[in-house]
Structure formats: C-alpha cells, structure tokens
A and B are shown apart, each in its own frame.
Chain A
Amino acid sequence: MSIEISRVTTAPAPRGSFLRANPSVLWFMGLLGLFTLGVTILSEGFGIGAISTNLVKILGMTLCLCLIAIAMDVVWGYCGILSLGHFAFFGLGGYAIGMWLMYARTEIVIRDSLGRGTIPPTELEVAEGVAAQIFGVVGSSELPLIWSFAGSLPFQLAMVVLVPGLLALVFGWLAFRSRVTGVYLSILTQAMTLALALYLFQNDTGLRGNNGLSGLQNIPGYQHVPQSVISMWFFWASAVALGAGYLLFAWVVSGKFGSVIRAIRDNEARVRFLGYNVEGYKLFVFTITAVISGIAGALYYPQAGIINPAEIAPIASIYLAVWVAIGGRGRLYGAVIGAASVSLLSSWLTGGGAPNIDLGLFRIVWTDWWLVFLGLGFVAVTLFFPKGMGGLFDYLVRKKP
C-alpha cells in the first residue's frame, strides 16, 4: 500500500490524462453514441420505423433537459449555488430561436400569397403582412422593436447565447457582489424567473403574451421535408450538444478550477483568504451555465413546437433542482440519470401511458398522483440516498483510498 501511495506522490498525473482521470466521460460518450445509433436505426425517418416520430421528439427533448441538468449540477452540485431560475435562461434561448422560426416561416407564407397577385409585393407590404399575421392574435399589426432582426438566423442564433448570458452576467454580478448566498440567493433567482414569466405574459412585451410562439417544428425553407426526418435532425443535434456540453463541463470541473469551485461550495470564506476572488468564480460559473441552458432551450423548443411564458414559471426550475438531487449532485452523469428518468417517467405517467391502478376502494389515477409520488421520491432520496441514483455507481466502482 505504501508503495502505491508513494508512486502517486512522486509522479502526479501526467499531461493529457483528462480521459484517463475521468473514465466516466468515455463511458458516457460511448453510451450516448450507442443510444443515438439505436434511435436512428429504429426511427421512421432513417430506419425501420419501430418508434414513432413523436417518441423521437420526446427523446430529443429529453436530451436537451439532460443538458440543462448538467449545467444545473455544475452551478449547484459543484459550486453550491442553488439557482432556482435556470429555466429562465432555457426559455430565453427557446424564444430567441423561436422568433426566427416564426418570422421566417410566416415571411415565406406571406410572399407566397402576395406573389399570386399581378404586381410583385414591396418589401414594406411583406413586412406589414408578416407583422399582421404574427401579431393579429394579440390585436396588433406592428412589428415590435425586438423583432427588428428576427428574419436573420445568424442574429437570432447569437441572441440564443447573448440574451441568457447577459442576463446571467448582470443578475449574477448584482447578487454575488452583495454577497447574497444560500436561501436568499435561491429566492432571488426564483423572483427573477417569476418576474420574467410575468413580463412575457403581457401582450405588449412583443412576444405574443400567453399565446407564446408556435409552429416552431416547421423549419423555414424545409417545408417539403417530413417531420420524421426533421425530428431526427434535431435529435442528432441534441445528442451532439449534450455530448459537447458534457465534455466541456467535465473538463471545467476536473482540474484546479473544479477544485476551487468545490472549495467555494464547502467554505467560501476560507477560499477568500487563499486569495481567490470568490464572486468572480461564481459569476463565471453562473454565466457559462446560463449560456449552455440557453443553447439547450434553443434545441428543445423546435422539437416541442411551441413555447409560452408558462414554460419559465418558477416550478420548472424547481423541477430541475429535483432532477439533479434525485440523480445525484456533484457528478455529471448523476444529473443526466436524474433528468432523463424523472422527465421520461413523468411524460409516461401523465401522458396516459401507464395503466391506472384499481385498489377497490380507491383508484390511483397517475395524472393526479404522479406529483405526489415524485414528492415522496424526492423526500426519500434526500433522507436515505443523499448521493442520489448516481451514488449507486460507487458500489460498482471500488474507489481507491
């Protein structure tokens, strides 16, 4: 034993040993690749058609939820900031891409119908037509200022990253600079997402109020491509994003940076006396996870087809924390396991897929009882398995002293 330890002492891990030091990353990539391949082979668009396009969309959306879950795990499980507002960033990413999807598709439709007349339509006529089409539902025909560049895909893609990133940067700077921590910070993030949801619910915000943005599953310029194929494109994109996000975060938390943020989680005052600017680190982690959440949202909503302000209600972010807690905080694959299992179980039980249980005197209707079981499960995990489902892997892999 002493020989083993002294070897570690004199020869610390050599360079380029990231994957060797983190075997779970390779495992995760392998399983994600196999899963993607399996779904492709079984899909309607590219395979034998054993699983429906609708199910492909649900699986693709689940991958996006796994991506925001690992972001949540980094900010909460590693850095100790219990953010209950990360779904706000997810929703903003969705809105940013949704604006382009809706605008560009409506523009094609308007050009098509106006083009049938004898005189070709002017650009002004097209723009007015698009505005009337999109905003007729909220009783307006003016294009709001924030839609000025909605016709430009590169601009809206930049917004997917910039809007959540800047909001997180400004909010985080104000909150961390005042040294708001713990429960107070959680409440503050809840207030942020609630305020944003209420703001978006208003018709004059310019994002169609409670109607939200719809028809997002139709990709402008690809109207002829069936949904069975488009759903696979988004599924692949979601899988690539999850893989890349996993690699990025695994790298971020593996080195000295991970060491510092875990130290901040455990005793931030002590980290200050070591000379680290704790607020800067928190802001960095908060912002980068917000950006990844925005990207996850931008991939999720084209698969969901619709986004409205209810999506970023405070409860969504609380669910996110529940997924990560059930899956296991402080390990990235734990967050993936939690998000995937709980969200898939939820759509199975609430979607009528599960048979109701008749107990004679009493009937368990899953759509009603699901949340009760989720709540009980959460309490049970917190009390009996503080490491979550991911903690089970510790029994499989014997850890060295």
Chain B
Amino acid sequence: MSTLLEVSGVSVTFDGFRAINNLSIAIGEPELRAVIGPNGAGKTTFMDIVTGKTRPDTGKVLWGERSIDLLKLSESQIAKAGVGRKFQKPTVFEDQSVHDNLAMALKNKRGPFSVLIWKAAESDRARIVELAEEIGLSDRLAHRAGDLSHGQKQWLEIGMLLAQDPRLLLVDEPAAGMTPAEREHTTDLLKRAAKTRAVVVIEHDMEFIRRLECRVTVLHEGAVLAEGSLDHVTKNQQVIDVYLGR
C-alpha cells in the first residue's frame, strides 16, 4: 500500500474560527478509511480542502507518486487528477435522465470541443449498463433523476463517482436517509470499490462504520484525536470524553 494522498499541517480559519487546526492525514491506495467526529470537527471542511473548494491558510496537500501539490489546481483539475466526491446532500442533475447523469460522469475527455463531437462508444454504453446494475438502477435509466427516491439518488451519485473512475473517493455521509437494506447495499458497494482504490467515508452512524471493517480516524476541533481500528479508538478515553461530553 503506497501513500496516495498526504495532508500535512493544514489549518483553515473562517472569520476567526479555526475549522481545521494543523491537520495531518495520509491515505494509502488501496485503502478504506472512515472519518468520524462530533459536529464541527472539520470533517466536511477536510473534504472541501482536498477537492479545492476551500483554500487552507497553511499546510500542504500532496497527491500521487509525483507528489503533485493539489492546492495549486482548480476544482476541475483536481477532479481530473482522480479525486471524486460525493456530497452530504445528494446532488444529481434532477432535470436529466439517470443515463445522462452517468454519461456525464464517465471517464472521457472533458474539453468543450471533444464533448461537442462525443458519441457514445460501445464501451461507454456497456459501462453505463454495468454501473446501473451495480447501483440497482437498471430499470430507471430513462427516468428523470429528480423522480428517484432519496436513497436512489444517493446511489446514483455513488454511481457517478464510480463512472469517473477516481483513484480517491471522498464520500460524505453516504447512508443518510437510507433504509437498513439500502445501507447494507451501500456498505458492500464501498467495500468493493475500496479493493482497487482509496475510499474515505465520513459517517456518524457507528453501526455503519463497524460494518465497513476499516481503519478509523477521529477528528475533533479540526485535528486528529485518534486513529486505528474501531475497537481501538472507541476504547480511547479522549474519544469517549469528546463523544459523551465531559
């Protein structure tokens, strides 16, 4: 397992509030990692920094074998480099069909001119059908994404992520609003994805994390409080204090 993403000494301040405080995390490839922490611990801000949405005040974010500085790239360049993100609230393009949503995410050339003359190749079509099967939306391809249920939208977004074929998947609360059966399906999907790439999952639900059976990082006040297996971190006194209050 080699290091894919290395965040070191990153700090961000919003209007005097220190959202991220000297945070350092390294993610390997392939790896499944869960990030937990109380509200305001900086979990989502961490994803914002990696994807280029938020610029940190200090620190470094290095990517890949050649240690590319992600802070110098725009959002779209970071996405093209291989970072995919799923948002907390499912954000799919509701006005367009499930098929078109997936087609847009497919790993193809992204320039205006290449997209203008793009025609779905046989492999693209096969990939869309395959993805739809994986996310359980095979019979919904022609439907408007806006007509899907909340859980189906979550899956469509995960499907779009997989279509991008990223090396690093950042997944923010994937199981929010899902039924127990849907949760189980989502866990399987993430575990399968993590066999070939790096997956970072933010989640509140401990039961969900337990099923992921992976290394856990606990964030608190913008810094790493503990890291290790779920059993290890839940025995940590500091973690217990943070979660249960002192």
Q: Please determine whether A263 and B142 come into contact, CB atoms closer than 8 angstroms.
A: no
Q: Bits for B199-240, please: 1 = Cβ < 8 Å to A, else 0.
A: 000000000000000000000000000000000000000000
Would you give the shortest CB distance from B78 to chain A, in whole angstroms? 8
A: residues with CB less than 8 A from B are: 2, 5-6, 8-10, 12, 15, 252, 255-257, 259-260, 262-263, 266-267, 269-270, 272-278, 280-281, 284, 400-401
- Whether B116 sits at the interface, judged by CB under 8 Å, is yes
Given that A256-B103, A257-B115, A280-B112 are known contacts, is A262 also in contact with B76, CB under 8 Å in the complex? no
Q: Is the interface of B mostly helix, strand, loop or mixed?
A: helix
Q: Please determine whether A257 and B85 come into contact, CB atoms closer than 8 angstroms.
A: no
Q: What residues on B are CB-neighbors of A252 within 8 Å? A: 116
Q: What residues on A are CB-neighbors of B103 within 8 Å? A: 256, 259
Q: Please determine whether A275 and B76 come into contact, CB atoms closer than 8 angstroms.
A: yes
Q: Please determine whether B104 and A256 come into contact, CB atoms closer than 8 angstroms.
A: yes
Nearest to A285 among chain B residues (CB) is: B112
Would you give the shortest CB distance from B64 to chain A, in whole angstroms? 16
Distance between Cα atoms of A269 and B54 in the complex (Å): 12
Q: Please determine whether A273 and B79 come into contact, CB atoms closer than 8 angstroms.
A: yes
Q: What residues on A are CB-neighbors of B2 within 8 Å? A: none
Q: Is the interface of A mostly helix, strand, loop or mixed?
A: helix
Q: Please determine whether B118 and A255 come into contact, CB atoms closer than 8 angstroms.
A: yes
Q: Please determine whether A274 and B105 come into contact, CB atoms closer than 8 angstroms.
A: yes
Q: Please determine whether B104 and A10 come into contact, CB atoms closer than 8 angstroms.
A: no
Q: What residues on B are CB-neighbors of A267 within 8 Å? A: 91, 93
Would you give the shortest CB distance from A334 to chain B, in whole angstroms? 16
Contact of A281 among B112, B118, B132, B142 (CB under 8 A): B112
- Whether B60 sits at the interface, judged by CB under 8 Å, is no
A-B contact pairs, 27 of them (CB 8 A): A5-B141, A6-B139, A9-B138, A9-B139, A9-B142, A10-B129, A252-B116, A255-B119, A257-B112, A259-B96, A262-B96, A263-B104, A266-B94, A266-B95, A267-B93, A269-B53, A269-B75, A270-B93, A272-B74, A273-B51, A273-B79, A273-B85, A274-B76, A277-B76, A280-B112, A284-B112, A400-B142
Q: Please determine whether A5 and B99 come into contact, CB atoms closer than 8 angstroms.
A: no
Q: Which of B77-129 contact A (CB under 8 A)?
A: 79-80, 84-85, 87, 91, 93-96, 99-100, 103-105, 110-112, 115-116, 118-120, 125, 128-129
Q: What residues on A are CB-neighbors of B125 within 8 Å? A: 12
Nearest to B108 among chain A residues (CB) is: A256
- Whether B164 sits at the interface, judged by CB under 8 Å, is yes
- Whether B55 sits at the interface, judged by CB under 8 Å, is no
- Whether B143 sits at the interface, judged by CB under 8 Å, is yes
